[in-house]
């Protein structure tokens, strides 16, 4: 049936909408509706009929979210392609401009036009801010310690309503505030700061303020006043009369809402580009148990109470908050083949309801006493996502506003598969698991890199496990786990598998299992820079992984953790911190040199391990499989695929970036003094000749010479200079590049290094911030 016929109950229904359609049309291809809402009303008339809504090429604007309820079960909304069909949560602004000053134009705006982002000619503009936007300047693309200093605030005619963004003191995500007043010292009174679950003061340096007229001082900036005047500094050459101005008005674009008893079933959204949703960082947030996160339970696409929902082959861009949120009861949700980029918060979120968690705690220092604790294993009800898939998606430049975000976030969920995704250029984790409830996730064949770009102490993959067994007091935690050996599996009831991924984190660990993370199996992963960290937890097996230029970071383990680390290729000694025991087995690993092996063996582990060059087949081009004569075969290492990482879909693969493949300094160049490499934007080499030693005034032929420094690099932001010779890093004498790199990999998680360099015939100390 291709059009509506009164009095008929068809087996299937095909409806058509077009930007040129009309509400009074019948919905056929020849007489299409003009909006998705019109088509939805028509589908509801034929409840029980399988309906497909076809969207013709063009632009569709929403004045309210698309609502899909159980009355629309089975509906498919199919666009002509994400490059052709655009759904926007914005309106075109009708503006008449006049001159405000030599640079700024002003126009009156209707009171009904309540927007929080401005687009001109399809491009996002910059809400008036200090400091000015600079893509190369790290946190919020520009930050300043004096962003809200009283002297600056005194120059603002209207400080109330200014928006303050600041990093956590420990760089564990960020906070967002609105200035609600001034105190007697002209200091801002801030409202907000609820967006992070680890309260702290604001970072002293990483701050930015926006929504201030007096800070409108560069092309592309804008400001909307309380009396509905829009101020705008146009770019040179912009035709203000004919340019299209769009204001973002909608918080959500699609809500798919049912319940466990009456779920939305069998819904497909395909072939559409979604743009323009409001920023939501000042909405109500809720803590994700005892993880570091709080979250706004909402997104451009919000899915709750569903079964068999599919979001595929869509594009999501220029969205102010979360992109896709799968909340509470959901089963078999599939998110496949999508292009997600340039959005304010998290790309894809799975988040259950705390009512499903037995004896939940919500703050780091909270703990339910054992006498009061529900000791039954597993969830208390079904209000959580399960058996869902995030597959073959290209996700990058998310977290453009909020920093406690991820490409894919999982909390209070079970059996989530995250596979074949390319995730990069994000401020914190690429993939984050907030706690152990309830495990069973499969993380495989992903390509995750350029992560932790605007935060610290984190990883490309990150997890926490502050579940029922976990206690903030370490001695009490030891007592609990000594007496209740199976307690860590009360919540992490299923093993989470991390396999066949490629990870690279230059500002933390490639894989970071933080506080309490338990019941993991990690194998066949290629770690390109940050190594693998396991903080205190239980029942983790790490085997058959390659850790390029780094190694294993076991931190504060329990006596009986039952952890296993075996048959891995590591390129640095174990970086252990305050262990009570070495787990069940740490052995049969390949180290880069005999010194690293002997150091491990002196700690009572790795008695059957070996050392030597692993003899990679083609490390220069990213193939870190080993040749037939590799010593890694003697410790039981097995081949795994090195070319199946990231997106598979051809259109996504063509545009997806891949990580920078590092020079292997740790083994293949161990005996080469002539090694040169780029490190944090500086070209460095070993001091290798008497002439170089003499020119630098050194007492011996050792140290690392800085040859050049790239502009706008990490090193360029420090006091290091061309010609400096690095002789010490964090108290460790540096003789060659290999030693510098080993020290860097061990200490870089702190985000800063204390170096001693030889300059002008004397030793001086330089602090290097390894994040811009």
CA distance linking residue 489 with residue 378, whole number of Å: 8
CA angle (208, 166, 536) in 5-degree steps: 150
Q: What are phi and psi of 71, to 5 degrees?
A: -65, -20
Q: Nearest Cα to 265, choosing from 310, 301, 308?
A: 308
Query: What is the pLDDT, as a whole number, of residue 670?
Result: 44
Q: What are phi and psi of 265, to 5 degrees?
A: -125, 145
Three-state SS across 236-293?
A: CCCCCCCCCEEEECCCCCEEEECCCCCCEEEEEEECCEEEEECCCCCCCCEECCCCCE
Helix (H) or strand (E) holding 43: helix 36-44
Q: Nearest Cα to 126, choosing from 206, 210, 213?
A: 210
Q: Nearest Cα to 675, choosing from 685, 661, 688, 664?
A: 685
Query: What is the pLDDT, as a whole number, of residue 207?
Result: 98
CA distance linking residue 41 with residue 483, whole number of Å: 60
CA distance linking residue 398 with residue 95, whole number of Å: 31
Q: Nearest Cα to 210, choosing from 121, 114, 143?
A: 143
CA distance linking residue 755 with residue 94, whole number of Å: 58
Q: Which residues of the chain have pLDDT under 50?
A: 1-2, 668-671
Strand pairing partners for 107? Answer: 230
CA-to-CA dists, residue 256 to 36, 386, 441, angstroms: 14, 17, 24
Mapped onto helix, strand or coil, the DSSP state of residue 556 is coil
CA 341 from chain centre, in angstroms, equals 12
Both structure tokens of 52: 């497909």
Residue located via tokens 């003009």 = 34
Mapped onto helix, strand or coil, the DSSP state of residue 487 is helix
Terminal C-alpha separation, the chain: 60
CA distance linking residue 525 with residue 489, whole number of Å: 24
Residue length of the chain: 772
Q: What are the E-state strand segments in 372-524?
A: 385-391, 394-396, 406-411, 414-419, 422-424, 429-433, 442-444, 447-449, 459-463, 496-499, 502-503, 509-513, 520-523
Q: What is the CATH number of domain 676-769?
A: 2.30.42.10
Instruction: Please check whether residue 421 is in contact with residue 646, taking contact to mean a CB–CB distance below 8 angstroms.
Output: yes
Residues in Cβ contact with 295 at an 8 Å cutoff, skipping those fewer than 6 apart: 285, 286, 288, 322, 346, 349, 351, 409, 411
CA distance linking residue 323 with residue 593, whole number of Å: 47
| DSSP per-residue letters across 176-189 | EEEEEEE-TTSPEE
Instruction: Please check whether residue 481 is in contact with residue 474, taking contact to mean a CB–CB distance below 8 angstroms.
Output: no
- From its phi and psi, is residue 255 left (phi > 0), alpha (psi between -120 and 50) or beta? beta
Query: What is the pLDDT, as a whole number, of residue 130?
Result: 98
Instruction: Please check whether residue 479 is in contact with residue 534, taking contact to mean a CB–CB distance below 8 angstroms.
Output: no
Mapped onto helix, strand or coil, the DSSP state of residue 389 is strand
Residues in Cβ contact with 259 at an 8 Å cutoff, skipping those fewer than 6 apart: 305, 329
């Amino acid at each position: 049936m291709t059009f509506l016929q009164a009095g008929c109950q068809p087996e299937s229904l095909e409806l058509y909408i077009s930007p040129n359609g009309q509400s009074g049309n019948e919905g056929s291809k020849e007489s299409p509706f003009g909006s998705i809402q019109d088509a939805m009303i028509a589908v509801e008339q034929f409840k029980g009929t399988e309906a497909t809504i076809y969207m013709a090429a063009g632009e569709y604007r929403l004045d309210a979210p698309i609502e899909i309820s159980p009355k629309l079960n089975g509906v498919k909304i199919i666009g002509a392609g994400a490059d052709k069909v655009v759904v926007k949560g914005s309106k075109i602004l009708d503006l008449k401009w006049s001159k405000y000053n030599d640079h700024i134009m002003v126009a009156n705006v209707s009171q009904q036009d309540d927007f929080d982002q401005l687009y001109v000619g399809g491009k996002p503009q910059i809400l008036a801010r200090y400091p000015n936007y600079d893509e190369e300047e790290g946190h919020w693309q520009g930050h300043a310690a004096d962003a809200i200093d009283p002297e600056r605030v005194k120059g603002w005619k209207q400080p109330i309503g200014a928006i303050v963004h600041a990093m956590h003191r420990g760089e564990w995500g960020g906070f967002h505030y609105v200035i609600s007043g001034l105190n007697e010292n002209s200091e801002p009174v801030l409202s907000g700061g609820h967006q992070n679950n680890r309260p702290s003061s604001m970072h002293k340096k990483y701050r930015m303020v926006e929504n201030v007229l007096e800070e409108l001082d560069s092309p592309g900036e804008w400001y909307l006043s309380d009396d509905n005047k829009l101020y705008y500094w146009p770019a040179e050459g912009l035709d203000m009369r004919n340019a299209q101005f769009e204001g973002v008005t909608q918080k959500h674009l699609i809500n798919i809402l049912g319940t466990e008893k009456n779920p939305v079933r069998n819904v497909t959204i395909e072939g559409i580009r979604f743009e323009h949703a409001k920023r939501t960082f000042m909405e109500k947030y809720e803590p994700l148990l005892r993880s570091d996160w709080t979250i706004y339970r909402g997104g451009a696409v919000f899915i709750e109470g569903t079964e068999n929902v599919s979001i595929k082959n869509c594009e999501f861009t220029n969205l102010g908050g979360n992109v896709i949120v799968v909340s509470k009861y959901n089963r078999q949700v599939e998110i496949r083949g999508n292009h997600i980029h340039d959005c304010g918060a998290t790309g894809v979120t799975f988040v259950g309801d705390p009512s499903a968690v037995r004896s939940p705690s919500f703050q780091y220092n909270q703990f339910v006493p054992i006498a009061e604790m529900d000791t039954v294993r597993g969830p208390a009800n079904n209000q959580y996502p399960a058996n869902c898939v995030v597959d073959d998606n290209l996700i990058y430049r998310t977290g453009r506003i909020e920093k406690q975000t991820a490409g894919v976030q999982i909390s209070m969920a079970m059996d989530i598969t995250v596979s074949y995704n390319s995730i990069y250029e994000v401020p914190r984790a690429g993939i984050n698991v907030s706690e152990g409830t309830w495990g069973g996730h499969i993380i495989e064949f992903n390509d995750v890199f350029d992560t932790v770009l605007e935060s610290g102490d984190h990883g490309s993959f990150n997890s926490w496990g502050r579940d029922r067994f976990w206690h903030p007091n370490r001695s009490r935690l030891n007592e609990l786990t000594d007496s209740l050996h199976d307690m860590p599996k009360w919540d992490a009831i299923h093993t989470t598998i991390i396999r066949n991924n490629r990870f690279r984190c230059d500002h933390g660990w490639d894989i970071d299992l933080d506080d309490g993370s338990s019941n993991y199996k990690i194998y066949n992963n290629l770690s390109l820079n940050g190594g693998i960290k396991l903080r205190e937890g239980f029942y983790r097996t790490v085997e058959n992984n390659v850790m390029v230029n780094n190694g294993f970071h076991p931190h504060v383990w329990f006596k009986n953790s039952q952890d296993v680390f075996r048959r891995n290729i590591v390129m640095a000694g174990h970086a252990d911190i305050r262990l009570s025991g070495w787990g069940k087995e740490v052995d049969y690993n390949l180290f880069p040199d005999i010194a690293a092996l002997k150091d491990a063996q002196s700690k009572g582990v790795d008695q059957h391990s070996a050392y030597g060059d692993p003899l990679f087949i083609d490390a220069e081009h990213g193939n870190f499989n080993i040749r037939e004569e590799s010593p890694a075969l003697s410790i039981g290492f097995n081949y795994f695929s090195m070319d199946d990482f990231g997106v598979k879909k051809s259109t996504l693969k063509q545009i997806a970036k891949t990580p920078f493949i590092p020079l292997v300094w740790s083994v293949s160049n161990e005996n080469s003094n002539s090694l040169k490499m780029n490190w944090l934007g500086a070209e460095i080499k070993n001091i290798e000749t008497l002439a170089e030693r003499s020119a630098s005034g050194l007492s011996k032929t050792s140290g690392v010479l800085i040859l050049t420094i790239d502009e706008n690099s990490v090193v360029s932001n420090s006091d290091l200079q061309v010609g400096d010779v690095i002789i010490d890093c964090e108290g460790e004498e540096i003789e060659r590049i290999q030693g510098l790199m080993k020290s860097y990999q061990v200490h870089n998680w702190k985000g800063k290094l204390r170096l001693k360099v030889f300059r002008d015939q004397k030793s001086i100390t330089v602090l290097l911030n390894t994040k811009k």
